[in-house]
Amino acid sequence: MQITKNTVAQFHYTLTNTQGELLDSSKDRAPLLYLHGHSALISGLENQLEGKSSGEKFVAEIKSEDAYGDYNEELVHIVPKNGFQNDGDEQLAEGMQVQVDTNNGMAVALVTKIEGEDVTLDLNHPLSGMDLKFDIEIMDVRMATAEEIEHGHAHGEGGHQH
Ligand code: ZN
């Protein structure tokens, strides 16, 4: 069976950048399960999965604009340190990820610098501005259930209600 709109596919992947550095892999966990054609994945990856079949292995090379977009300097903000709640013993530190309230709701930001009372937050996706390479093996393709299509996402092995 081929991957087309409203099929549910499962695949293993190994993600590297163009320098060949490992960024992520599904090999030590269950394969990724998703509903095709509902923008569950980055557009460049869904486009290349279209028409692939169970058992197929291929390499998808994806430009940053079809992955997580360009790095955007406007998503870097300097905010005062006293704006952070001190919840318990976790000290604010460079390299830490924090939840921030933005105009578009809650987002994850990376603390890139702390200088005196100035905290630099970077709201870019960690993979923004990067061309990506996915090594993919399709494990399973099936028709989505009516419920999955209605929800707009795949349901796991045991199914779930929400
Ligand atoms: Zn659901």
Residue 5 alpha carbon to ligand 1 centre in Å: 17
**Above 90 in pLDDT, residue 68?**
yes
pLDDT at 101: 84
**Above 60 in pLDDT, residue 159?**
no
pLDDT at 88: 60
Domains in the chain and their CATH numbers? 7-68+127-151 (3.10.50.40), 73-122 (2.40.10.330)
Q: How far is CA 14 from the centre of its chain?
A: 13
pLDDT at 160: 59
State the pLDDT confidence band at 104, using cuts at 50, 70 and 90. confident
Residue 99 alpha carbon to ligand 1 centre in Å: 25
DSSP result, the chain: -B--TTEEEEEEEEEEETT--EEEESTTSPPEEEETTSS-S-HHHHHHHTT-BTT-EEEEEE-GGGTT----GGGEEEEEGGGS---TT----TT-EEEEEETTEEEEEEEEEEETTEEEEE-S-TTTT--EEEEEEEEEEEEPPHHHHHHTS---TT----
Tens digit of each residue's pLDDT (9 = 90 or more) over 21-36: 999 999 999 999 999 9
Residue 110 alpha carbon to ligand 1 centre in Å: 30
Provide CB contacts within 8 A for 158, sequence distance 6+: none
Alpha-carbon distance of 17 to 5, in angstroms, equals: 28
**Above 70 in pLDDT, residue 112?**
yes
Residue 154 alpha carbon to ligand 1 centre in Å: 7
pTM of the predicted model as reported, rounded to 2 decimal places: 0.79
Average pLDDT score over residue span 130-138: 97
**Above 60 in pLDDT, residue 162?**
no
pLDDT at 20: 93
For residue 35, with 0-12 CB atoms within 10 Å meaning exposed, 13-18 middle and 19 or more buried, which class applies? buried
